[in-house]
Structure 1
Amino acid sequence: MGLTCTAGVPRAHLSEEHSRTLLSSVLPSMDLYCTVINDSSNDAIGTSLRVETTSHVLFRSITVVVALCGLVGNGVVIWLVRLSIKKNSFCIYNLSLAVADFMHLGLQIVFCVRQILRSFLQYCFHLSSIFMILRFFSYFTGLGIMTAISFQRCLSVLFPIWYRCHCPKHLSAIVSVFLWLLTFLVTILRGHACPQLSLRTTGFCSATVTITNVWILLLLSVMGTSSLLLFLRVRESTQLHLPRKLWLGILLTDLVFFLCGMPLSIIRFLVWEVGNQTLNDICILLSSINSAVNPAIYFFIGRQQPRAPLAGVSREPCVRRQSRGAAPAPPNRDGGPLTGGKCPSGSGDLPAGVTPPGQQEGAPPSQALAE
């Protein structure tokens, strides 16, 4: 059900404050796309509204440019991962994250173009509320996948031997499917309970909002804790010898999310409504930057991947068991004993930054996708 444009209502009978209050009571969690800008006889108020409209169009235009660049970058990531013959766990995560970011950026472009056209043409075209649901869905999914990547990457560095020998083979695929389904159910439930898919607020709305907020706080807490532990482990480690550029790139992904992606979580979900349109525009721009910058980080990491001295650390326990007369060690879960599969990074499921034997230094940028 689309929002009804109020362009046909005489502006003398519908003030901006009244229209905002009316629509915020009906759709409190959605942007006020079809409200009109009241032409006030007061010159000071009129000037303020014109300045606000100009800044609004400027932010939305920049968001469109950033989102277009992000669509290209995430499209390249999806294409490279699909072409890879061998996919390890981080390839699956990066593919899911790229798909979620691609969807999120595409929907951001649609909404931003709508806002720009409305500001210039004073015309608001209808969009089904399902587009808002899909935008929330893509954002929630990206948040969940980012958390899974941070947590699993932290495990691979803190417990490399256990992670190598006991981590389930298809864990990344299972987690990705679970996150997509769970996020879809939560988003649809909230859309039906709260006034997004319908104009009637149900009594279950407050409960779904609470569940959503708890879920977001849980994901942010897990991601923050994992990133902090990974940072401390890499800084204090004398065994992994991770290159400075590499571990900075690894942690940069999470840092960018906390700086650019988290503000949208706060103002859209943890806070029910935002009265400052400029703040809302800034958070949407930052969210688009967060979704667009991940491919750039992958290529930044992949420009130089020097060989790590402990590439065979996770092989050692299997060799010891075999020397004691035990059963032969199982092969690498990605198709061989640490030979660096066919995924763009070629690093299998090794701890982040550990280059497998046989991989040449100075790998091309596409090899960072699995990191």
Structure 2
Amino acid sequence: MEPDLNVYYSMEYPTDILPTAPEPQTSTIGAGSVILVIVNIIIFLLGISGNGIVIWISGVKMKRSVNTTWYLSLACSDFIFCACLPFSIVNMATSAWPFGLVMCKFIPLIMFLNMFSSIFLLVIISVDRCASVVFPVWVQNHRTVKAASVLVTLAWIVSVALSVPSLVFRDTKVEGHKTICYNNFGKGVPTHWNVVFSRFVCGFLIPFVIITLCYTIIILKLKNNRMTKSSKPFKVMSALIVTFFVCWLPYHIFVLLEVYNELHNHNIVTGLMVSATLVSANSTMNPFLYAFMGKDFKKTCSILSKIENAMSDDARTASKRQSCTQDSKVSTDPQGEMSAV
């Protein structure tokens, strides 16, 4: 008997795995689930505390700037995602969904809202960095906190719109003595495929192309400069982008493979569970990247100071740009161009 292709846990974990596996294999799967539960609990604790610190630093302690606007929005997205992890941890540990239909729709919505908002913000930041190198004078006149806030708001609106399928297709049903949360795409694969493919294209493929293009232009533009090392914000954003793609690419691959296969392959099921945990880990890593990418990491003892140092480039960047424009030669100084990156 074939398992239902459209049934998943709240974090896209399949629920209709054939229950005829021998006892030793079931024990192995159980042990793996315990490990994933423990890992997700650690991710939850680190994500809440780390992103909470970033929100406090960028939203309260530091003066509002374009950079802190980017980082604050990213941290808010990750914080909300991590705050919802306990629901998925309970689901993972019990193989049941005791939280009702509303939360069945809401928790996956948060997952994809985090995915889309994070990648759209990274796209905006990459375009911002590219424009700062290619058109420094124009950027100096138009790169404002207000403009950054408008772009962030638009990114969140589009992210919410693309996350709506979770509200539409998520449903609950009772199987035996358990209630499960699953994707109810109805009969047939086309709707399921359209949703998965649109998420891959809008939430990964197109952003990947845009970001790659932006950083290629930046590298080519700076190739002839005397600067041989990347500036601090360039390193921070490069690390954030690489981390995002490393964490999300396996998930998209396994989801596409799962839709393509008519049966639930055990390797694909395992890959989905592990890759979904990797996705959760992405929301925890960003605050630590801010800290370890700080310029004065070896000299600074406080984690808070490291994070603040990693996000505090705008003030110094603005002063450097202003000094470079005194002689109407803004784009001729390699140091000035690198500061914009």
Structures share fold, TM-score greater than 0.5: yes
Per-residue CA deviations over 1:318-371 (Å, capped at 9, x if unaligned) read 6549xxxxxxxxxxxxxxxxxxxxxxxxxxxx86656xxxxxxxxxxxxxxxx9
Per-residue CA deviation, residues 112-159 of structure 1 (Å, 9 max, x unaligned), is: 2321244xxxx6534532211222222221121122222212322343
**What SS does structure 1 have at the residue aligned with 2:163?**
helix
CA contact (8 A) 2:133 2:221 kept: yes
TM-score, normalized by length of structure 2? Answer: 0.71
Aligned to 2:43: 66
Q: 2:320 aligns with which of 307, 312, 317?
A: 312
CA RMSD of aligned residues (A): 3.8
Q: Describe the shift of the 1:108–1:265 C-alpha distance in structure 2 as closer, same or farther (beyond 3 A).
A: farther
The answer for the alignment partner of 1:25 in structure 2 is 6
Distance 1:59 1:284 in 2: 10
1:96 matches 2:96: no
Report deviation, 1:176.
Answer: 0.8
Percent of matched pairs sharing the same residue: 18
The alpha carbon displacement at 1:168 in A equals 5.4
1:333 alignment partner in structure 2:
none
Quote the residue 1:5 is aligned against.
none
How far the C-alpha of 1:37 sits from its partner, in A, is 7.8
Matched residue type, 2:247: C
Q: What's the TM-score once normalised by structure 1's chain length?
A: 0.66
**1:288 matched to which residue of 2?**
280
Cα distance, 1:56 vs structure 2:
2.6
Does residue 218 of structure 2 align to residue 212 of structure 1? Answer: no
- AA paired with 1:237? N
1:178 is displaced (CA, Å) by 0.6
- 2:163 equivalent to 1:187: yes
- Of the three residues 47, 51, 60, the one matched with 1:83 is 60
- Partners of 1:33 and 1:25 lie apart in 2 by 8
Matching of residue 151 in structure 1 with residue 138 in structure 2: no
Gaps of 5+ in 2: 172-180, 297-308, 330-335
Q: Equivalent of 1:256, from 239, 243, 249?
A: 243
Which has the higher Rg, Structure 1 or Structure 2? Answer: 1
Matches within 5 A, 1:169-248: 170-189=146-165, 191-192=167-168, 199=184, 201=186, 208-216=195-203, 217-233=205-221, 236-238=224-226, 242=229, 247-248=234-235
**Correspondence for 2:306:** none
Q: Contact 1:141–1:179 at 8 Å: present in 2 too?
A: yes
- 1:139 to 2:115 alignment: yes
- Per-residue CA deviations over 1:49-74 (Å, capped at 9, x if unaligned) read 21122123213321321232122111
The one-letter code of the counterpart of 1:296 is F
- Of 165-174 and 198-207, more deviation after overlay is shown by 198-207
Q: Which moved more, 1:274-283 or 1:144-153?
A: 274-283
Determine helix, strand or coil for the equivalent of 1:82: helix
For 1:315 and 1:298, the matched residues in 2 are separated by 27
Measure, in 2, the Cα distance between the counterparts of 1:241 and 1:261. Answer: 31
Count how many residue pairs are aligned between Structure 1 and Structure 2. Answer: 299
Query: Per residue, is there more helix in 1 or in 2?
Result: 2
Q: Counterpart of 1:114 in 2: which secondary structure?
A: helix
Q: How far apart, CA to CA, are the structure 1 residues paired with 2:275 and 2:183? A: 26
Check the 8 A contact 1:193/1:208 in 2, yes or no.
no
Residues of 2 paired with 1:170 and 1:95: CA distance? Answer: 14
User: Aligned equivalents of 2:66 and 2:141: distance in 1?
Assistant: 14
Tell me the amino acid that sits aligned with residue 320 of structure 2. G
1-side partners of 2:202 and 2:293: how far apart? 31
Contact 2:9–2:15, Cα closer than 8 Å, also in 1: no
Pick the aligned partner of 1:164 from 131, 134, 140.
140
1:54 aligns to what? 31
Contact 2:251 2:275 in 1 (8 A): yes
Q: Distance in 2 between matches of 1:298 and 1:258?
A: 17
1:145 maps to a residue whose letter is L
- CA gap 1:279/1:193 in 2 versus in 1, 3 angstroms: closer
